[in-house]
Amino acid sequence: MTLFLIAGEPSGDRLGAALMAGLKALVPGVVFRGIGGPAMQAEGMDSLFPMEELSVMGIAEILPKYVHLKRRIREAAAAAIAAAPAALITIDSPDFCLRVARLVKEAAPGLTTVHYVAPSVWAWRPGRAAKMARVIDHVLALLPFEPPYMTAAGMSCDFVGHPVAAEPQASPIEAQTFRAAHDIPPEAPLILALPGSRRSEIGRLIAPFGETLTLVARRYPDLRVVLPTPRHLAAEVTAACRDWPGHPVVLTAPDLGTRIAAFAAADAALAASGTVSLELAAQGCPMVIAYDMAPITLWLMRRLVRVDTVTLVNLVSETRTVPEFIGRDCTASKIAPALMALLAEGPGPQAEAMRLTMQRLGRGGEPPGLRAARSVLAALARRGTTGAIAAD
């Protein structure tokens, strides 16, 4: 069986890699084609072109690269059609992936299309589900409340759990070892700075994050800072935080063990909105969320949003314990007091919200990558796709 997968950013790369591992366990000899990052490549993907070219978000950010992205869309669709796979599996990055799916469906209407990560229609633009149903047959949902939205639009959908809930939890010894390895004293307050994995995100957040940490360092002069970053952005991130307080330690593309040890070692995190809030929750690290976008993107989002929080921990736990500072509120004068409160008081109610979030995302159950693989195979079997096998 040949499957064509497309991921467009680091979080999708991790999802794709876990799915590929699950598929290999269930379908010996499965062949993968498509576009992916280092995690998917390690599972056997020979990427058509560098995944990093697709890591763009927001209307104002996409426009300068529109012509190039259109060319990559056509290239990806042509490769998918030529591969004649049992299924096209697109992973998040809907602006790119669903355009590819549309071209593929036009050329091969009978090809099964699967999208991994349901669009957040519960948050904004509910019409996206119906539009997606024109080109997608089956959806793999990360959040337990998403399937009804997808099935109402005409697609089959399974909640497969979130891979972050299956990640190991770093031990206290691993957290202590991380501090020692980076000359961070056990008693020093340690903050994780996580301004995103896209160049556009980092460009907007690196300055307010630095200003926030400068204010925090006035109260906590022994503050230390750790900043994980993707490999392709390491040089510019290192340069941008050179004058930050806290002797910043830049972790370039840390492996899983290093990343979870850093998260467990930190007393608090200042993070961009996104999946990273779940990664922090998995290690019990309390957080403050801050995010900014281009003015036109922010204006549109505020007009369309249907929920009062963008933080996944808040949404999944059905609490509002994680403070967030979005758009005009993404300023050091507003963020710093919330971050200092975490350093002074500890996680407080966030601890229970993080525990509940992991429980609802499937902690302790079958690995989400394997559940996703079973769901894909079941969808293929229902559609009578050649090469599909039973999912049990």
Could you read off the pLDDT of 77-117 as tens digits, one per residue? 999 999 999 999 999 988 899 999 999 999 999 999 999 99
Can you tell me the distance from the alpha carbon of 341 to that of 336, in angstroms, rounded to the nearest whole number?
9
pLDDT in tens, 297-335: 666 666 656 677 889 999 999 999 999 999 999 999 999
Q: Which CATH number fits domain 2-161+365-382: 3.40.980.10, 3.40.50.720, 3.40.50.2000, 3.20.20.140?
A: 3.40.50.2000
pLDDT at position 306, please? 62
In the chain, domain spans: 2-161+365-382, 172-360
Helix axes 172-181, 256-265, angle to 10 degrees: 90
Q: Tell me whether domains 2-161+365-382 and 172-360 share a fold.
A: yes
- CATH number 3.40.720.10 is the correct assignment for the domain at 172-360: no
Written in H, E and C, the secondary structure of 238-305 is HHHCCCCCCCCEEEECCCHHHHHHHHHHCCEEEECCCCHHHHHHHCCCCEEEEECCCHHHHHHHHHHE
pLDDT, averaged in runs of 10, over the chain (392 residues): 93 92 96 95 93 60 67 95 97 91 96 93 74 96 92 96 91 97 97 90 93 98 96 92 95 94 98 92 97 73 70 93 94 97 96 96 92 97 62 36
Please give the model's pTM, rounded to 2 decimal places: 0.77
pLDDT at position 353, please? 97
Nearest CA to 181 among 223, 214, 222, 226? 226
Nearest CA to 200 among 13, 343, 59? 59
